[in-house]
Amino acid sequence: MSAEKILTSWKKKDFKPVYWLSGDEDYYIDQLVNYAEHHILTEEESSFNLSILYGRDTDWAQVTNACRRYPMFADKQVVILKEAQYFKDIEKLEPYISAPLASTILIIAYKEKALDKRKTFYKVLQSKAELLITAKLKDDKLPEWIAELVKNKGFNIDGKAIAILQEHIGNDLARIANEIEKLSVNLKDKKSIDADDIEKFIGISKEYNIFELQAAIAKKDFPKAIKIVNYFESNPKAFPIQKTLPALYFTVSKTYGVFGLSDKSDAALKPLFYFNPNAVQQAKDMMKNYGYAGIEKMILLLHHYNLKSIGINNSNTDQGSLMKEMVLKMMM
């Protein structure tokens, strides 16, 4: 079951006795744990019926005893086991999970690790618990995810603002959600999010960012590209070369793939560039200004300078100088 379906069922007061939340994407696990901690029970009910335990600090007997208590002045009690990946002898919870108390809602947050699916414990979870196994959101799905998150908060967001967020923050759903929450609080009566809002309320420059660097390279605007690289050089923590090069490679390699398409219309390119019209225009500019051979050269240079950035065939050239050198060679 997905996190959204579990959350929907909880809001309808439809609960299962045991929930096992695990996987690679912490955002959905944290979202459910936070809701369970603050919203399943009322404030008055929580005083007597909410138990929060931590895997490092508890054992199977404490968890089992907490689960076998009956609720006081309420129909349900909630027991949350956080950081269960550090819990010793977690398989000793199997007898309780096999026959859980109907009045207890046990929520186990087991991050980072994966259980051995061959073991009896996992099979018991499959049959007796509600399982959520999260996976990292793929980069090509992130723009859609951002747009949907913004929409659910009653706003809309343009493609450039999405691209700036994605390229600056990366695939960190929790951080993106926090920044969107910050925006929703500050926008007041405005319902549309653009690059100006990203700059004003989140602090990501609308002029000096990876997206604008890509646009400058695509247009062969060398002065602007170097101006942006200089800004990156003065803000190395925000724009490290190890973050900038993969973002450039992602766009250049996508554009390189367009040459193999029989249909190069905007309608055909939009799905390839996640329905971002600005990204489509960048690709078209790059193809026009560099051609097939030029973009192939870009890919080779990106690979070459990625190796240099980690010290291969590079003794002491700093990151800023490497970026300037690479951009110059791309545009020659």
Q: Does residue 48 share a domain with residue 22?
A: yes
* Rounded Cα gap, residues 183 and 150, in angstroms: 10
Residues in the chain, overall count: 332
* Rounded Cα gap, residues 142 and 272, in angstroms: 13
Q: Does residue 151 share a domain with residue 130?
A: no
Counting residues of the chain whose pLDDT is more than 70, the rounded percentage is 100
16-66 pLDDT, tens digit per residue, is 999 999 999 999 999 999 999 999 999 999 999 999 999 999 999 999 999
Q: Does residue 219 share a domain with residue 198?
A: no
Q: Does residue 290 share a domain with residue 189?
A: no
Q: What is the pLDDT of residue 168?
A: 82
* C-beta contacts of 86-93 below 8 A and 24+ residues apart: 86/54, 86/55, 86/56, 87/55, 87/56, 87/58, 87/60, 88/59, 88/60, 89/59, 89/60, 90/60, 90/121, 91/119, 91/121, 92/60, 93/60, 93/63, 93/64
Domain boundary among 202, 220, 244: 202
Domain boundary among 134, 153, 176: 134
Q: What is the pLDDT of residue 206?
A: 87
Domain boundary among 98, 119, 134: 134
What are 328's two structure tokens? 């110059």
CATH number for 180: 1.10.8.60
Q: What is the pLDDT of residue 294?
A: 96
* Rounded Cα gap, residues 128 and 137, in angstroms: 27
**Strand (E) positions, the chain?**
18-23, 50-54, 77-82, 104-111, 130-134, 156-157, 192-193
Q: What is the pLDDT of residue 229?
A: 94
CATH number for 309: 1.20.272.10
Q: Does residue 179 share a domain with residue 217?
A: no
Q: What is the pLDDT of residue 314?
A: 84
Q: What is the pLDDT of residue 37?
A: 97
220-256 pLDDT, tens digit per residue, is 999 999 999 999 999 888 788 988 999 899 899 999 9
Report angle CA 28, 31, 35 to the nearest 5 degrees.
145
257-310 pLDDT, tens digit per residue, is 999 999 999 999 988 887 778 889 999 999 999 999 999 999 999 999 999 998
Q: Does residue 128 share a domain with residue 8?
A: yes
Give the domain range for residue 29: 3-134
Q: Does residue 249 share a domain with residue 190?
A: no
Burial class (CB in 10 A: 0-12, 13-18, 19+), 227: middle
Q: What is the pLDDT of residue 317?
A: 86
CATH number for 46: 3.40.50.300
Q: What is the pLDDT of residue 330?
A: 96
Q: For residue 77, give the nearest of 48, 56, 98 by alpha carbon.
A: 48
129-156 pLDDT, tens digit per residue, is 999 999 989 887 888 899 999 999 999 9
Q: Does residue 178 share a domain with residue 76?
A: no
Q: What is the pLDDT of residue 40?
A: 97
Number of domains in the chain: 3
180-224 pLDDT, tens digit per residue, is 999 988 987 888 999 999 999 988 888 899 989 999 999 999 999
Q: Does residue 220 share a domain with residue 190?
A: no
Q: Which residue has the tokens 């809309």?
A: 156
Q: What is the pLDDT of residue 52?
A: 97
Fill in the DSSP letter of residue 172.
-
Q: Does residue 308 share a domain with residue 221?
A: yes
> What global pTM score does this model have?
0.76
